[in-house]
Every structure is written in C-alpha cells, then in structure tokens.
Amino acid sequence: MFQVSESDTLEDSVVETLSILPPKSLMRFKCIRKSWCTLINSPSFVAKHLNNSVDNKLSSSTCILLTRSQPLVFPDNNWKLEVFWSMINLSIDSDEHNLHYDVKDLHIPFPLEDYHFVQIDGYCNGIVCVIAWKTLHLVNVLLCNPATREFSQLPCSCLLQPSRPKRKFQLETIVIGLGFGYNCKPKEYKVVQIIENCEYSDDEQYYYHRIALPHTAEVYTTAANSWREIKIDISSGTFNCSPSAYLKGFCYWFATDGEKYILSFDLGDEIFQRIQLPSRRESDLKFSSLFLCKESIAAFCSCCDPSDEDSTLCEIWVMDDYDGVKSSWTKLLTFGPLKGIENPFTFWKSDELLMVASGGRATSYNSSTRNLNYLHIRPILNEVRGFQALIYVESMVPVK
C-alpha cells in the first residue's frame, strides 16, 4: 500500500494509485467521475501507466499475448473467421524448475467479418498491428489494444490496387511486409508497408509471364491519420518478408532475394537498410525467422538432424550494437535435436524459450535443463492454427 507523505497532495496519491492498476480496472473507473476519466485519458497519465507496467519488478510471471485464428464451416457452407485472443501468465520455480501457467481468454470481438486470414504484424507499447486479408489485393490494417479492447481501422492505402488486374500490363500490387512502432521524437506511432509491384505480359496472367517492377513503400502516422509514399530501394526479386519485430525505433524483417538477409527500417529517418546475417555456409543450418530476445534482435536457424530426419538441430544468434548501418552477431544458443519443433516466438525468461511445435502446440524449452514442456491451450477444431505469441505489457495507450 502507498505511504502518502505530508508533501504529497491528494491528487498526487490518486494518480500514483491509479497508475499501477490494470487497464480493465481503469476502464471501469473512467465511469465513476468525469475528472478521473479526464485524468486516465491524459497523455501524461497514459505514459506514466505504461512506464509502471514496463518497469514492474514485482511480478514473478511473464505475460504472453496469444492469438489463434480459424475459419469455421457452418452447415450452409459459409465461411466465417474466428479470432481468439488470450493471455498466458507464465512462471517457473527457481528451485524445482516446474513450469506454471494460466490461460485467460480475452473475448475481444474482431470488428471485421468475412476475412480469410488475420495476422499480427507488429507490436509496441501494448498495441498490436493486425493485418486482415480478404484476398491478396484486399487488405485491411488495424491497430488494437487488447487490454482496453479497442480497435482502429486504418484508412485505405495510397499505393495498393483494390483488385487483381483484368488486362495485361496493368499494375498488380501485393503487401509483402508490414511493420509497426513508435517514433519518440514527434511522439507518434507509425505503420510502414512494403509493396511488391508487377505486371503480366499476357491476359491469362501466368506466373512465367510476370514482370517484376521496383518495390514501393508507404508510411502511416497516427498524427496525420493517412498514408504517404516513401523511398525504398530493395531488389525487385525479394520474396515475402516475415512478420516484423520492433526494437528501439527500428522495424526488422527476415527476407530473401536468393540470399537471406534482414531488412531494417528507421522510423525516425524513414530509411531502409539491408543487414547481413551471420555466415553459416559451412553448416546445413538455415535461418528462417526473427524474434525479440530481451533488448536484442535474435535470428533462429535450424536443420534436420542427419541421424533422424524427424528431429531438428537449432541455433539462436543475437544481433549486437546495430547503429543503423553496421551490426555484429553473437551465437547465443545451440540446442537439439528436438522432435516436432517448428519455430521460436521469444525468450520469456533468460533460459526459457517459447516455441511452437507441430500441430500448433505451444512449448517452453529450458536451455539449462533441456526440459521441453507443452502448454495445454484450448484448441480450435481440435487443432490450434494461425498461432502467434509475444511478450505483452498491458497499457492504456489509445489506438485512435
């Protein structure tokens, strides 16, 4: 309980008390008094609450945001997309190394209907950036704060064509990368979108008649609530980028144009840079994904175990001292062989790696004890699909 000194005013003590409460309680308290609603909505309080949430040293558990999506078939054969949001609180005994967790469903109604795929493509300060696909050419981008259950749909792109071209030599546009983060200088959030452009030399639009054109990119800012085109110079042969990772003013994607690399974007200067991955030419291990490891970007590489093709050998490399131009890498971990492991999500403790196994099962791997623990999470149609997870800090940051 707070100790209020003589120099503290009643208002100060109220602010201090409210700033450590969870968003669910604060959303209720906004209805109690008009002055409390004004306070809780104020930028200074939102920033203070976020700082307290990030710096919370009292919690012994780690909060993970989990999404699963599944198209459901109804008797009339119509398809409806279901998106499930949950919080997982993970903790582990320091002595016994026993994993404890509880899963709480958030029941957040997704605001769009009739979409075939939903994916989290960025996270920052309690807000997730969600992309909802109807087709390759009909895409909606939304910002969501799961703690406050708020959604904001971004305006239409200024570069994307709304449908597939109907004739040859008409422009086709497809989103291949999307990132989200915070630009601290003007204190605004940005979404960056990388677009692949092409045209076809025949009316049938066969792939081998496809003519690759230079990529384009655009940025959305919450202050302007609009998109604007920015400069980008990457190979027209670059394949689809992975979901982005945001760290300290930069967005990062795993990409390839024959050789795998990391693409970075400076949210302040709005400049793209290409970052070379560690050389693994003497090894069969191949890089496949990026994720956050505390205050660093980590790259995951793996290969099949030569003695057992159902098992995987894995390495994790951490990027050090990236200054926007140069970077260096350190091998953090070598582990395996593991059966049925597909991809890592994040380190939720210094030696506990949250991963996804075959069948969409969430798994925690302890690199010290080499224990593999499966998390029993409610499946969708007997199988978890479209599974994504990230370390999450609840906040009151508005999405509008």
Give the chain's length: 400
Number of domains in the chain: 1
Tell me which residue of 142, 86, 148 sits closest to 119, measured CA to CA: 142
Q: What is the pLDDT of residues 310-320, one digit of tens each?
A: 788 888 999 98
Give domain status of residue 45, yes or no. yes
CB–CB of 129/180 below 8 Å?
Answer: yes
- DSSP for 90-123 reads EEE-TTT--EEEEEEE-----S--S-SEEEEEEE
In the structure, what pLDDT confidence band is assigned to residue 113 with cuts at 50, 70 and 90? confident
Q: Where are the beta strands (DSSP E) in 260-369?
A: 260-266, 271-276, 286-293, 296-305, 308-320, 328-339, 341-349, 352-357, 361-366
Q: What is the helix (H) or strand (E) element at residue 43, kind and residue range?
A: helix 43-54
Domain that holds residue 27: 8-58
CB–CB of 286/302 below 8 Å?
Answer: yes
Separation of alpha carbons 275 and 54, rounded Å: 29
Separation of alpha carbons 10 and 304, rounded Å: 63
Give domain status of residue 41, yes or no. yes
Q: Return the pLDDT at 379.
A: 54
Longest dimension (CA), the chain: 80
User: What phi and psi, each to the nearest 5 degrees, are found at residue 358?
Assistant: -60, 145
Give domain status of residue 50, yes or no. yes
Separation of alpha carbons 290 and 122, rounded Å: 12
Give domain status of residue 26, yes or no. yes
pLDDT above 90: residue 217:
yes
Residue with tokens 């704060």: 145
Give domain status of residue 377, yes or no. no
What value does the mean pLDDT take over residues 1-28? 74
Q: Return the pLDDT at 265.
A: 94
pLDDT above 50: residue 6:
no
Give domain status of residue 23, yes or no. yes
Mapping DSSP to helix (H, G, I), strand (E, B) and coil, where does residue 344 land? strand
Q: Return the pLDDT at 385.
A: 58
Separation of alpha carbons 213 and 198, rounded Å: 5
- DSSP for 228-290 reads EEE-----TT--PPPPPEEETTEEEEEEESSSEEEEEEETTTTEEEEEEPPP-TTSS-EEEEE
Residue with tokens 């008797």: 75
Residue 148 DSSP code: T
Give domain status of residue 49, yes or no. yes
pLDDT above 80: residue 208:
no
Give domain status of residue 18, yes or no. yes
User: What phi and psi, each to the nearest 5 degrees, are found at residue 279?
Assistant: -75, 125
The CA-atom distances, in angstroms, between 92 and each of 36, 333, 364, 365, 373 are 37, 20, 11, 12, 11
pTM as predicted: 0.87
In the structure, what pLDDT confidence band is assigned to residue 1 with cuts at 50, 70 and 90? very low
